[in-house]
């Protein structure tokens, strides 16, 4: 089998192939950016592994039009470039003239593009005709400066021409024969619902009308282009790169519930399995975006929050760590902060994450969403490392895509005779792959017992009776969660109210 993909890997000065005449200038640029990134290329240190984000950084400019040629109509839409090897992104908003600039792109890295609505909902992916029927190509190496115009064709974006682009051989499946990759055909099928099968060894089950020629689930530790799954940018080859694909291995079980989402036969919840969407080879070690829904303490409905957490690598020194995402989701969001006298106050969120003070280079923030907002299917947020100067910043961005689940409130009941707690409701719509647990609190609100993790398919579980003193009063609540692919940070947590145990 021919290897179609040229693996570029981490940039190292010794392996970057440069024409001699350009060498001196490129070296100067590399060093300039190395300095800008801070910590990179320290004298006397071996460079490559100490310089995870280094490389030649270039700005790439383009325009985007509708099929009828209107550029102004796309104002406020969002274009992102994703690196083939790492998923690290550059993001740009389209201006009044239909122009965008992807700033400080690592042009040695092959990239693909995707288009998002002004509310950061995935709308279209790049599609370039493949040399084999019913396949497309999606990855290109850009040169700096102007790139060919993009045309928005609904669920795909296409280049007006391929001038100046080096198109990689890496292919994706597009069985409908119209250039729309299978994964995109799947997410645009309005009635699609992913199944609630058990994550372990589940078979593909897609409910509702089957999209054309649905791919078989991945059962091999190599992707369709022969790349090991833990290095592949599109494990199931459906044209939705892993970072945008809610079901990387195409087995019908969403990543957030699939204990081996990359089908590399290593459990994602073990340290050796940390090769999934939220783990990055450069800039940061991991990002976690956790959505929480819980009843308000005063009983007046539900509150939703998002917790962003990232651990940044030792070899980068950003001037800030922050988040980019949908205005509709974040514009009126708030955070708790301390005022000058130490009182906790609520203030507008400035999109920044704060050093959590652990000394571990962990940045975090919990944000309360306005009007108990919930993220939508295929809505994307980016955790950003900010470099450059405060008045001329640039961003290296790390994507997270919300999967197609409908988060909903749950309730619970307790039977004092049997000590059984029952979970009532469906926290994730039809999906039953979640886990849940019970927490018991004493009269002063201290959590005195927590159950083990219970599969969503089991709706009753007994509280350990000997932890309860018959003379005392207790409360309990339950929480339903997705798997925590970053330890301690599940993507979803849905809490019941706290109830008296009687």
- Which parts of this chain interact with Ca ion (CB under 5 A)? 183, 234, 236, 238, 240, 242, 245, 247-249, 251, 253, 255, 258, 260, 262, 264, 266, 268, 273, 277
Phi-psi region of 262 (alpha: psi -120 to 50; beta: other; left: phi over 0): alpha
CB 421 within 8 A of CB 461: yes
Q: How far is the CB of 320 from Ca ion (least distance, A)?
A: 27
Of the pair 258, 397, the CB lying nearest Ca ion is at 258
Identify the burial level of 48 via C-beta atoms within 10 angstroms of its C-beta, where 0-12 means exposed, 13-18 middle and 19 or more buried: middle
Q: How far is the CB of 246 from Ca ion (least distance, A)?
A: 6
CB 368 within 8 A of CB 335: yes
- Residue 448: count of CB within 10 angstroms of its CB: 14
Of the pair 152, 229, the CB lying nearest Ca ion is at 229
6: three-class secondary structure by DSSP: coil
95: CB partners within 8 A, 6+ apart: 75
Q: How far is the CB of 216 from Ca ion (least distance, A)?
A: 13
**Distance between terminal CA atoms of the chain?**
66
The Cα–Cα gap between 301 and 487 comes to: 29
Tokens found for residue 423: 């979970």
The Cα–Cα gap between 425 and 434 comes to: 12
The Cα–Cα gap between 366 and 379 comes to: 19
Q: How far is the CB of 394 from Ca ion (least distance, A)?
A: 26
Q: How far is the CB of 45 from Ca ion (least distance, A)?
A: 33
CB 104 within 8 A of CB 396: yes
Of the pair 235, 369, the CB lying nearest Ca ion is at 235
Q: How far is the CB of 290 from Ca ion (least distance, A)?
A: 16
Of the pair 26, 206, the CB lying nearest Ca ion is at 206
Of the pair 260, 285, the CB lying nearest Ca ion is at 260
CB 55 within 8 A of CB 36: no
Q: How far is the CB of 297 from Ca ion (least distance, A)?
A: 34
The Cα–Cα gap between 2 and 393 comes to: 42
Of the pair 234, 285, the CB lying nearest Ca ion is at 234
Q: How far is the CB of 58 from Ca ion (least distance, A)?
A: 28
Residue owning tokens 């050796």: 272
Of the pair 108, 268, the CB lying nearest Ca ion is at 268
Of the pair 365, 485, the CB lying nearest Ca ion is at 485
């Amino acid at each position: 089998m021919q290897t179609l993909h040229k693996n570029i890997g981490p940039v190292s000065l010794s392996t970057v192939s440069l024409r001699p005449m350009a060498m001196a200038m490129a070296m100067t640029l590399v060093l300039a950016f190395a300095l800008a990134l801070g910590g990179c290329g320290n004298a006397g240190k071996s460079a490559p592994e100490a310089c995870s984000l280094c490389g030649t950084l270039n700005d790439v400019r383009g325009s985007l039009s509708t099929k009828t040629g209107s550029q102004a109509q796309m104002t406020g839409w969002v274009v992102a470039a994703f690196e083939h090897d790492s998923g690290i992104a550059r993001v740009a908003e389209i201006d009044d003239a239909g122009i965008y600039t992807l700033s400080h792109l690592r042009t040695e890295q092959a990239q693909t593009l995707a288009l998002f609505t002004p509310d950061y909902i995935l709308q279209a992916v790049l599609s370039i005709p493949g040399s084999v029927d019913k396949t497309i190509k999606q990855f290109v190496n850009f040169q700096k400066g102007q790139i060919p115009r993009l045309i928005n064709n609904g669920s795909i974006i296409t280049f007006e021409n391929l001038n100046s682009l080096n198109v990689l051989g890496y292919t994706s499946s597009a069985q409908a024969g119209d250039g729309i990759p299978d994964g995109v055909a799947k997410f645009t099928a309005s009635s699609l619902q992913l199944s609630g099968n058990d994550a372990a060894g589940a078979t593909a089950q897609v409910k509702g009308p089957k999209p054309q020629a649905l791919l078989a689930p991945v059962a091999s530790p190599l992707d369709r282009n022969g790349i090991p799954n833990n290095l592949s940018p599109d494990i199931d080859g459906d044209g939705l790169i892993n970072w945008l694909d809610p079901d990387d291995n195409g087995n019908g079980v969403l990543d957030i519930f699939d204990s081996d989402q990359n089908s590399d036969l290593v459990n994602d919840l073990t340290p050796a399995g940390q090769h999934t969407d939220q783990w990055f080879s450069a800039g940061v070690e991991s990002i976690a975006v956790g959505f929480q829904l819980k009843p308000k303490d005063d009983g007046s409905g539900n509150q939703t929050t998002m917790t962003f957490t990232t651990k940044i690598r030792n070899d980068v020194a950003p001037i800030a760590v922050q988040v980019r995402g949908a205005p509709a989701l974040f514009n009126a969001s708030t955070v708790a902060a301390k005022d000058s006298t130490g009182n906790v106050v609520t203030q507008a969120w400035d999109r920044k994450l704060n050093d959590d003070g652990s000394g571990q280079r962990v940045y975090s923030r919990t944000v309360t969403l306005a009007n108990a907002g919930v993220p939508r299917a295929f809505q994307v947020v980016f955790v950003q490392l900010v470099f450059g100067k405060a008045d001329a910043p640039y961003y290296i961005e790390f994507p997270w895509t919300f999967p197609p689940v409908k988060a909903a409130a749950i309730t619970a009941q307790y039977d004092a005779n049997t000590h059984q707690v029952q979970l009532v409701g469906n926290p994730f719509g039809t999906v039953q792959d979640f886990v849940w647990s019970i927490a018991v609190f004493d009269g002063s609100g201290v959590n005195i017992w927590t159950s083990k993790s219970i599969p969503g398919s089991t709706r009753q579980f007994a509280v350990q009776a000997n932890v309860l003193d018959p003379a005392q009063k207790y409360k309990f609540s339950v929480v339903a969660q997705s798997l925590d692919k970053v330890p301690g940070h599940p993507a979803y947590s849905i809490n019941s109210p706290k109830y008296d145990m009687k």
